[in-house]
Amino acid sequence: MSVRGTLRALPTLLRVGVSEAVAYRAEMLVWVLGTTMPFISMALWTAVARYEPVGRYDSHDFVRYFLATFSVRQMTGAYAAWQINYEVRQGTLAMRLLRPISPLWSYAAENLGTFPLRLLLVVPLTLFSVFTLGTRSVPGTAWGWGLFLLALVGGWLITFLANVLIGSLSLYIESSNRVMDLWFAFFLICSGYLYPVELFPPVLRGLLDWLPFRYQIGLPVELMTNAHGLTGALGLLGRQWLWVALLLGLSILSWKRGLKRFAAYGG
C-alpha cells in the first residue's frame, strides 16, 4: 500500500486498537499492575534519603522522580515482540500479510491503542504529584514541554522498534523471547527505571549515555522533572533520536529479510 493509503488507513487501525484495548481491559490492568516497580523503588529511596540527600535528591525529589517514572513507563510501553514471536510460531502472521498494509503499522496501531486507557491513570497521578510536590513535577517552560513530548515520542519509538527488531528474530530462530528477556534485564538496570541514572558512578553514567535504555525512560523523566537546561536537554535528545534512526533501519532490514524466510517456510 502507498504512503497515502497507509495514512488514510491509520485512523481506522487506531480505532481498532482502542477497541481491542477496551475489550481486553482486564489484561491491560494486569500489565499496569506489573509495572509498579517504581513505587517499590520510591519507598526504598525515600527511606534512604530521609535524613540525608542522595546526590541532589531528597525524599521529595525521589517521590517526584518515581511518580514521573511510573507515568512515563505507561506512555512508552510496547509489547510487539511477544505478538510477533507468537504469531510467527503459530503461523497466524500469514493472515496479517494478506492485508494490504504492512503488519508493522498494525502492530504500532494496536500498541498505541492502549494510550487512552493509560491516560486515565497517568493524568490523575500527575495532577496528584503537582498538587502535593509542586510544579517541578512537570516541565516549567514552553520549551521544556516541547522537548519532553519529543522525548516521550522518542522513548516510545525506541521501545517499539526494539520490540520489532527482537520480535523479527523469531523469523530466524525458534523463539526470540529469551532475547527480549535479556533486553528487559538491561532495561531495568540501565534505563533509570529503578534508580536515577545520575546516581551511577561517572564512568558508568558516561557509558549509559551511549546506550539506548536511558532514552526509553530516564530522559523523558528527567525532562518532565526539569533536571536539564536547554543545551543539555538538546544534546541528550539528539542522541535519543540517533537511536530511533538506527533502530528504525535495523528493524525494517531484519523484518524484510526475515519475511523472505517466512514465505519460503510457509509456502
**Taking 70 as the threshold, does the pLDDT of residue 64 lie above it?**
yes
Strand partners for 54: 57
Q: With beta carbons less than 8 A apart as the criterion, state whether 74 and 35 touch.
A: yes
Q: Give, in order, the Cα–Cα distances in Å from 248 to each of 51, 163, 164, 195, 237.
A: 46, 11, 9, 28, 16
**Taking 50 as the threshold, does the pLDDT of residue 61 lie above it?**
yes
pTM above 0.85, yes or no: yes
Residue 102 pLDDT: 87
Query: 132: how many CB neighbours lie within 10 A of its CB?
Result: 12
Residue 267 pLDDT: 46
Tens-place pLDDT, residues 212-252: 999 999 999 999 999 999 999 999 999 999 999 999 999 99
Q: With beta carbons less than 8 A apart as the criterion, state whether 178 and 93 touch.
A: no
**Percentage of the chain modeled with pLDDT above 90:** 48
Residue 2 pLDDT: 66
Average pLDDT over residues 93-97: 86
Tens-place pLDDT, residues 138-153: 999 999 999 999 999 9
Nearest to 262 by CA among 169, 138, 188, 191: 169
Please measure the distance between the N-terminal and C-terminal CA atoms of the chain and give it in whole angstroms. 22
Cell of 237: 535528545
Measure CA 136 to chain center: 23
Tens-place pLDDT, residues 17-26: 777 777 777 7
Per domain, the residue ranges of the chain are 3-266
Cell of 154: 522518542
Tens-place pLDDT, residues 72-92: 999 998 888 988 998 988 888
Nearest to 70 by CA among 244, 211, 225, 200: 225
Burial class (CB in 10 A: 0-12, 13-18, 19+), 248: middle
Window from 19-28, 51-60, 62-71, 215-224 with minimum mean pLDDT: 19-28
